[in-house]
Structure 1
Amino acid sequence: MIDELLSWALKQRLGRVEQVRSQPHELQAQVLKQLLHTARNTAWGREYGYTDGLSAAEFASRVPISSYEQLYPRIEQVLRGEADVLWPGRVQWFAKSSGTTNARSKYIPVTSESLENGHYRAGRDMVALAGSLYPEAGILRGKTLALGGSHGPNPFRPTDAHSHVGDVSAVIMHNLPRWAQSRRTPPLELALLDEWQEKLERMARHVLHENVVTLAGVPTWMILLLRRVSELGGGRPIPEIWPNLRLFLHGAVAFGPYREVFRQLIPHEQMRYLEIYNASEGYFAFQDQPDSSDMLLLLDHGVYYEFIPAAELDHEQPRALTLEQVEVGPSYALVISTNAGLWRYHIGDTVRFTSLAPYRIRISGRTKHFLNAFGEEVVVENAEAAVAAAAEATGALVRDFTAAPIYFEAGAGSRGGHQWLVEFVQPPASAQQFAEVLDTTLRQINSDYDAKRHRDMALQPPVLTVAAPGTFEAWLAKKGKLGGQHKVPRLSNSRELLEALLEQKS
């Protein structure tokens, strides 16, 4: 009976997902109206004149676009327990966000509204949609193996036992409603362990005998867990250990470079994969078509969107477009206003639209994670596609990678270039071919890169450096960033990260 009730409740969300597809502008107008009304009596709302009836244009003209650093003084007030600063009430939960080479962590407020009407609503929609797309998967007839991070006391309020800081995955898991907790594994005391290596081992031993039907997490860390489960299962393939496993909900990094690894780990023709786009700041999109990696932008989940054309990011006053003004093709920097009190917040991600009816996107990169030392404008999306093509062509399985510039040196004939540090699960048949396919693919999909590579005049061919096994994991461990949604940045215009990884290798 419980299964039937859950199934019925989830199916009711499919109508709302259809509204996201068919009534995008109306939903976004409602979200902005609700956000402004709710926050009108906060310190921020009073400062910027939030009133009922404030138009989108008036909102944009009154409120500045803010980076984390610019918004931080207000966020610090919230961290220290002040009420009614950016959002009504006192915020007790904060997502600690990393993923950059900046040593300073970001603390993103997570309100009860952002959990319930954002992360959880989107999660229910994703489960309902997955059940509709793949009814044979039986995702309610077993457990979801959820791989996440950890949380601890709020360092700004060390005596407040009710205030916590941690990975957004841990915040979400800890606060899940009872019915959802009963459907996931492992138990919270294991899932929220802080020490990653101990957690991996204990999780693997616990879930070995569970009826796992769905996986949820970051591909890089899920690979490590699945391998350990297989080892503990006497070397049996995952489908023999979990015969009912049918679905992996993955996010945080592009799946292309890992697809073949999962095919080998889970050699089952009915295994399905769906991508999600969630972050510390909100749950933004999910893959709603089985035959396309495009993701449906979620417009009814507590987030109001604006978009800065990526080509204008360096302008003193870049335009911020509304949803009605975007076009298919160009990359846009994402600007969000949310029910966690983030107002016109420049999140740092770039997306491009693949469809406007409905609004579907792909993540194209990070405003701070790209290669543009020589005008080549290589974004993360380009890099992921090129590495995936090179791996497929050479039979390689990629564990992780990053790339950085090789800068011009003094002397005639010196050229710039890119150095790619790649850690393989299975090395390519030919490292030279891997580098050549990577280069060729980048030239095919990025005209700016191709122009710089013309006759090797501005850019030399890419230099491939093979990382020793465990290099990336060891660097993350050294930084205290193992597990959760932590990852090594794919691209950087500085060699700082790559050199640190090379030192780690040695």
Structure 2
Amino acid sequence: MFSVKSALAKPFAFFIKRSVLKWANNPVDTQNAVFKNLIHEAKDTQFGKDHDFSNILSHADFVSRVPVRDYEDLKPYIERVVAGELDILWKDKPIYFAKTSGTTSGAKYIPITKESMPTHIEAARNAILMYIAETGNADFVDGKMIFLQGSPILNEQNGIQLGRLSGIVAHFVPKYLQKNRMPSWETNCIEDWETKVEAIVDETLAENMTVISGIPSWVQMYFEKINQKTGKKVGDVFKNFNLFIFGGVNYEPYRAKFESLIGRKVDSIELYPASEGFFAYQDQQNEKGMLLQLNSGIFYEFIKAEDFFEDQPQRITIKDVELHTNYVMIISSTAGLWAYNIGDTVEFTSLSPYRVIVSGRIKHFISAFGEHVIGKEVEQALKAAVEGTTVQVSEFTVAPEINPPNGLPYHEWFIEFENEPENLGHLADKIEAALQAQNSYYVDLIGGKVLQPLKIKVVKKNGFQDYMKSIGKLGGQNKIPRLSNDRKIADILIAKNLTK
């Protein structure tokens, strides 16, 4: 059946692809232009005056005047913006604050300005259009689309709208997609996540769902409830569902479970959105990594993760990055964030164009003994260990056991299985071998009898969901850290009897 919407989508997709390639093929010039514009536009703000923006002519000038900051360091400025003052970090005042729950800072208020807001929307749109341009598949635009997200209800503080990023973005769904969007506004406003997912299942079961998106751990919950309610695979319930859009965490640990729940493979698009900016999206189905958004009012700097905690680590720009090196990503943007450490570490998988993967969090690592184990390493180790087996993992996290009752310290892996292995010890050996193959520091500590090999503790079915619910972070954009340098999560899992 002919569809005007899908017919128009294809030429528009090719138009967008040409515009994307124009800046992607001129990365250094693009970033230089972004940098100059940011400095010029903010030179008369309070931050700009405090840091002598009028005399910043180069990146070296910027480095000498503007230190790297995290939220706590920038908080004195942000508090003035929250209080309603004008021209503090950016011109005038933000139109939104994306409220996030920080682990160390309490609630964080990330500014979103009239200049930065469109970049969030355009990047999400372009990710889909680049997929259409590559595959020629546009039929899905006629079906129903769902994004499992936070409540769109916003509050107001000193004339600035306040809410979660996903809730803010819900107000910007293009008119031509309004009829396609699921769930209903009323259901989307339900605060309790479990109640919300039940309502979403009821609303969507009879619909022609073609696109489903969200953080994998919470989409899995939605898929499982569909399976429980119908006794069918998701792909049999939604016969035209062929595109999964996700972000927030690495999909690989979930892929086998998802394909089992769906009953077949579907195409996927990975996104890299955050309250601080929409940084990257997957632009090619067969390329590893996501296209870094160099033309979105964000200027990027990078610091090697291994040097980050030195007194004055080197800050480099896009032209000096190298492949397969773990970098802390630093941003300055039209939202008024300056040399801001978002906390993520990335690796470049391509330099032409610039594509990245998220390798972890600079604070989410284990180095209780000097091992420097990062998120990417534990994810790859687990993937390698279960490959070719019937073992399926629902969720996991890793913590150090520094003072065990007996023997040497070790890494303790808390794993919730869909299909539990017959021999946990054998799986632990395979994970251990895969981790040692990636991390020489870890190998040395094992060989030097500082650590003993890792141990697995099985988490009960839905144990991680129960944990997230117990700390008030079930659903939305919340996710389990893959690893921690302490036992806060581990101790709660054990104390609440969520392990076997």
Give the TM-score category using the shorter length: over 0.9
Alignment of 1:190-339 (within 5 A): 190-232=187-229, 234-269=230-265, 271-339=266-334
Instruction: Report the Cα distance in structure 2 between the residues aligned to 1:58 and 1:180, rounded to whole angstroms.
Output: 45
Instruction: Report the Cα distance in structure 2 between the residues aligned to 1:11 and 1:75, rounded to whole angstroms.
Output: 40
Alignment of 1:402-421 (within 5 A): 402-408=397-403, 414-421=407-414
How far off its partner does 1:3 sit? 4.3
Q: Does 1:505 align with 2:500?
A: no
1:304 counterpart SS class: strand
How far off its partner does 1:122 sit? 0.7
TM-score normalised per structure 2: 0.93
Q: Does 1:28 align with 2:31?
A: yes
Instruction: Report the Cα distance in structure 2 between the residues aligned to 1:339 and 1:435, rounded to whole angstroms.
Output: 47
Partner of 2:170: 173
Asked whether the 8 Å contact 2:331–2:337 carries over to 1, the reply is yes
- Show structure 1 runs of 5+ residues with no match: none
Q: Does 1:428 align with 2:421?
A: yes
Q: Does 1:491 align with 2:483?
A: yes
Partner of 1:147: 148
- Please say which of residues 216-225 and 166-175 is displaced more in the overlay: 166-175
Asked whether the 8 Å contact 2:56–2:62 carries over to 1, the reply is no
Asked whether the 8 Å contact 1:401–1:423 carries over to 2, the reply is yes
Instruction: Report the Cα distance in structure 2 between the residues aligned to 1:467 and 1:438, rounded to whole angstroms.
Output: 17
Q: Does 1:127 align with 2:128?
A: yes
Distance verdict in 2 for CA 1:177–1:42, change over 3 Å: farther
Distance verdict in 2 for CA 1:83–1:178, change over 3 Å: farther
2:142 counterpart SS class: coil
- Please say which of residues 39-48 and 323-332 is displaced more in the overlay: 39-48
How far off its partner does 1:465 sit? 0.2
Asked whether the 8 Å contact 1:474–1:504 carries over to 2, the reply is no
Distance verdict in 2 for CA 1:391–1:80, change over 3 Å: farther
Partner of 1:12: 15
Q: Which amino acid aligns with 1:15?
A: R
Asked whether the 8 Å contact 1:131–1:138 carries over to 2, the reply is no
Identity of matched residues, %:
36
| RMSD of Structure 2 on Structure 1 (CA) | 2.1
Deviation by residue 1:470-496 (Cα, 9 ceiling, x = unmatched): 221122112221111101211111112
2:278 counterpart SS class: strand
Deviation by residue 1:364-407 (Cα, 9 ceiling, x = unmatched): 11110001111211100011111222233542221211111111
Instruction: Report the Cα distance in structure 2 between the residues aligned to 1:64 and 1:475, rounded to whole angstroms.
Output: 37
Asked whether the 8 Å contact 1:393–1:434 carries over to 2, the reply is no
Instruction: Report the Cα distance in structure 2 between the residues aligned to 1:2 and 1:286, rounded to whole angstroms.
Output: 23
Asked whether the 8 Å contact 1:153–1:163 carries over to 2, the reply is no
Partner of 1:138: 139
Instruction: Report the Cα distance in structure 2 between the residues aligned to 1:8 and 1:504, rounded to whole angstroms.
Output: 55
- Please say which of residues 328-337 and 43-52 is displaced more in the overlay: 43-52
How far off its partner does 1:264 sit? 0.6
Distance verdict in 2 for CA 1:375–1:52, change over 3 Å: closer
Q: Which amino acid aligns with 1:212?
A: M
Deviation by residue 1:420-442 (Cα, 9 ceiling, x = unmatched): 11112221232122211111110
Partner of 2:186: 189
Distance verdict in 2 for CA 1:164–1:498, change over 3 Å: farther
1:140 counterpart SS class: helix
How far off its partner does 1:248 sit? 0.8
2:141 counterpart SS class: coil
Asked whether the 8 Å contact 1:386–1:438 carries over to 2, the reply is yes
- Please say which of residues 194-203 and 86-95 is displaced more in the overlay: 86-95
Q: Which amino acid aligns with 1:447?
A: S
Asked whether the 8 Å contact 2:152–2:170 carries over to 1, the reply is no
Instruction: Report the Cα distance in structure 1 between the residues aligned to 2:407 and 2:52, rounded to whole angstroms.
Output: 56
Deviation by residue 1:122-177 (Cα, 9 ceiling, x = unmatched): 1121011111233236232222211111255558x3xx5x6433321111112333
Instruction: Report the Cα distance in structure 2 between the residues aligned to 1:44 and 1:137, rounded to whole angstroms.
Output: 45
Deviation by residue 1:69-120 (Cα, 9 ceiling, x = unmatched): 000111122222222211122223222223x64371222112232220x211
Asked whether the 8 Å contact 1:399–1:423 carries over to 2, the reply is yes
Alignment of 1:356-395 (within 5 A): 356-395=351-390
- Show structure 2 runs of 5+ residues with no match: none
Partner of 1:109: 111
Instruction: Report the Cα distance in structure 2 between the residues aligned to 1:168 and 1:141, rounded to whole angstroms.
Output: 26
1:113 counterpart SS class: coil
Asked whether the 8 Å contact 2:399–2:490 carries over to 1, the reply is yes
How far off its partner does 1:414 sit? 4.2
How far off its partner does 1:335 sit? 0.3
- Please say which of residues 292-301 and 255-264 is displaced more in the overlay: 292-301
Asked whether the 8 Å contact 1:374–1:416 carries over to 2, the reply is no
Instruction: Report the Cα distance in structure 2 between the residues aligned to 1:365 and 1:334, rounded to whole angstroms.
Output: 11
Q: Which amino acid aligns with 1:110?
A: I
- Please say which of residues 312-321 and 87-96 is displaced more in the overlay: 87-96
Deviation by residue 1:274-317 (Cα, 9 ceiling, x = unmatched): 21111111111122232233222111112110001111112111
How far off its partner does 1:462 sit? 0.6
TM-score normalised per structure 1: 0.92
Q: Which amino acid aligns with 1:131?
A: I
Q: Select which of 89, 92, 112 maps to 1:89.
A: 92
Instruction: Report the Cα distance in structure 2 between the residues aligned to 1:12 and 1:189, rounded to whole angstroms.
Output: 36
Q: Which amino acid aligns with 1:467?
A: V
